[in-house]
Amino acid sequence: MDIFEEIVRMRRAGQRGALATIVHTNGSIPSFESSRMLVREDGGIVGTIGGGCVEADVWAAARDVMEREAPRKMIFNLNNEASFDNGLICGGTLEVFVEPILPQPIAYIFGGGHVSMAVAKAASAAGFGVVVIDDREQFANRDRFPMAEQIFINFEGAFAQLRPNASSYLIIVTRGHKEDMRVLSWAVRTDARYVGMIGSKRKVLSTYKALEAEGFRPKNSNASSRQWVWKSARSRRKRLPSASRLNSSPCAATRRPSHTRSSNASTKK
């Protein structure tokens, strides 16, 4: 199975993973530079970086990389001490870079007006998939939103079909307060990473009251006199199985991990 084809399939399916690549070697090692191993969210792997305790350590670290959505560099010294013998006494050194594989973020834009058009263009340029929802066909169409992957012309139909997840960003900019509240009441009960709605300061207060009347208590908000953004309290992550093997592996004593910050790592909103 081709690793890169599998990465494309996983991203399209909304699945996470981690790609481990040997980026530097020195001396004798059980694999070669540029070897890759893809670790899926369910723990399955594609490819190999040599097997043994190195691969076991990297597999465990890949689980953490998925969870944190941040890359990591690992350094292994495969010395000749018998205490570290796990079939990989090679005498060399290798560096492995482990990076997260994340689904494409999707911007669900509720409303087909001029604000929605501007947001859709910006989101598409930034690499987001775009989905547009409006109950007016003259506004929600391909002429106005040529970049949209999907267009819905019925709010209730969209609610029934859409399944927002941790890669979903819901942007509410409909034509009026009634429609905004209609969408918001649905949106805050989804698993979307981000929920945002445009509005005045007065609208913020009335929205809080309406949500509380429905039994919902937003935990994070940021209000201003010109706009209101509600940050989804349900942007939670599915916990991955424990990576306890990281500390119990025979290679753990010879590894010197180095953490690297990623400039494009996703940040929870």
What does the pLDDT look like over 150-160, one tens digit per residue? 999 999 999 99
The tokens describing 48, both together, are 């190999």
Judge if pTM exceeds 0.95: no
Q: What is the pLDDT of residue 122?
A: 96
CB 141 within 8 A of CB 108: no
pLDDT of 62 above 50? yes
Average pLDDT across the chain, whole number: 78
Identify the residue with better confidence: 169 or 259: 169
pLDDT at 22 over 60: yes
Q: What number of residues does the chain have?
A: 269
Residue pair 108/168 in contact (Cβ under 8 Å)? The answer is: yes
Q: List Cβ neighbours of 46 (8 Å cut-off, separation of 6 or more).
A: 1, 3, 6, 37, 38, 40
Helix (H, G, I), strand (E, B) or coil at 80: coil
Phi and psi torsions of 168, nearest 5°: -105, 140
Q: How many CA atoms lie within 13 A of 104 on its CB side?
A: 19
- Residue 129's CB: how many other CB atoms inside 10 A? 20
Tokens, residue 127: 């690499």
CB 88 within 8 A of CB 57: no
